[in-house]
Amino acid sequence: MRSLVAGNWKMNGLAASLAELTSLKAALAAKAPVCEVLMCPPFTLLAQAAWTVKDAFALGGQDCSPKDGGAFTGDISAAMLKDAGASTVIVGHSERRQYHGERDGDVAAKVQAAWRAGLNAIICVGETESQRDAGEAHGICTSQLEAGVPAGATAENTAIAYEPVWAIGTGKTPTAADIVAMHGHIRSCLVRRLGEGARQMRILYGGSVKPDNAAEILNLPEVNGALVGGASLKCADFLGIIAAVKPA
Ligand code: 13P
């Protein structure tokens, strides 16, 4: 399995930010990465990003509607993302859960919409700080996986991102032992639910991944890549993370 380093620009980026993607494309052409690379800019930049990047690396959306189309003002369908040049969509990010009230059932419906449109899904799970303090971290992720990952998920159409909410944008990260324990737990849940094929499904870590901690995190057992927020906005930082992935 090749690792995947994915960037999530969140609600950041104007047309001028496409220069970062041009730089990233040039850097990856000069030195081919060991891992797969995916960038998820805001919807408004996706089509322009696709023109800029061509096929140098993959592009994704940050969310999609569970519906295929129709009278849903302001929503974006998976088919629209695909049409704009995306291969993948992030679903169930904790910021969607927190600010838009998304629940596991919504996440599962969005994942199915993504698959119908031919997109791969990155399904995010993770506990809050109070849930971790209460010893509930593994249980929370179990229930998010059970209700949020639909039957039919395969290593080809789905990846999981473990993003502890308290580590996102805070500079805090779990210990290496906690990451290994959680990724092992997620792997067991996936195999129990989906069968042996789920051993090949990527489990990404997300939450304050930076160039200076990437080598430690990305080379832990059962960590098959990263989902990067803040450090994906600048090409140099993102490249530092990509460079930290060791060949399998
Ligand atoms: P940061 O890397 O900024 O902590 O964000 C992580 C994240 O939420 C990626 O989806």
What is the band of 248 on the pLDDT scale with cuts at 50, 70, 90?
confident
3-state SS of the chain is CCCEEEEECCCCCCHHHHHHHHHHHHHHHHCCCCCEEEEECCHHHHHHHHHHHCCCCEEEECCCCCCCCCCCCCCCCHHHHHHHCCCEEEECCHHHHHHHCCCHHHHHHHHHHHHHCCCEEEEEECCCHHHHHCCCHHHHHHHHHHHHCCCCCCCCCEEEEECCHHHCCCCCCCCHHHHHHHHHHHHHHHHHHHCHHHHHCCEEEECCCCHHHHHHHHCCCCCCEEEECHHHCCHHHHHHHHCCCCCC
Q: Which atom of ligand 1 is nearest to the CA of 124?
A: 10
CA distances, 30 to each of 22, 25, 26, 239 (Å):
13, 9, 6, 12
pLDDT digits (tens, 9 = 90+) for 63-82: 999 999 999 999 999 999 99
Neighbouring C-alpha atoms within 13 Å toward the C-beta of 240: 15
Write out the two tokens for 12: 């950041």
Determine phi and psi for 36, rounding to 5 degrees.
-80, 150
Residue 94 C-alpha to ligand 1 middle, in angstroms? 10
- Catalytic residue chosen out of the listed positions 20, 102, 127, 163: 163
- Annotation says 93 is catalytic: yes
pLDDT digits (tens, 9 = 90+) for 15-39: 999 999 999 999 999 999 999 999 9
pLDDT digits (tens, 9 = 90+) for 104-150: 999 999 999 999 999 999 999 999 999 999 999 999 999 999 999 99
Mean pLDDT of 44-67: 97
* Residue with the two structure tokens 């039957």: 151
Choose which residue among 4, 89, 208, 213 to substitute to test ligand 1 binding: the one with the highest number of ligand atoms within 8 A of its C-beta: 208
- Annotation says 163 is catalytic: yes
Q: Which atom of ligand 1 is nearest to the CA of 206?
A: 6
Mean pLDDT of 152-159: 98
Mean pLDDT of 204-226: 98
Residue 71 C-alpha to ligand 1 middle, in angstroms? 32
Domain boundaries, the chain: 4-65+74-243
Q: What does the pLDDT read at residue 214?
A: 98
Question: Which CATH number is 4-65+74-243 given?
Answer: 3.20.20.70
* Residue with the two structure tokens 């990952």: 149
Length of the chain: 248
d(CA 11, CA 96): 12
Q: What does the pLDDT read at residue 247?
A: 85
Type of residue found at 176:
A
Mean pLDDT of 221-235: 98
Q: Which atom of ligand 1 is nearest to the CA of 90?
A: 10
d(CA 162, CA 35): 18
Write out the two tokens for 168: 């996102």
pTM of the model: 0.98
pLDDT digits (tens, 9 = 90+) for 159-208: 999 999 999 999 999 999 999 999 999 999 999 999 999 999 999 999 99
Query: Are 227 and 159 within 8 A, CB to CB?
Result: no
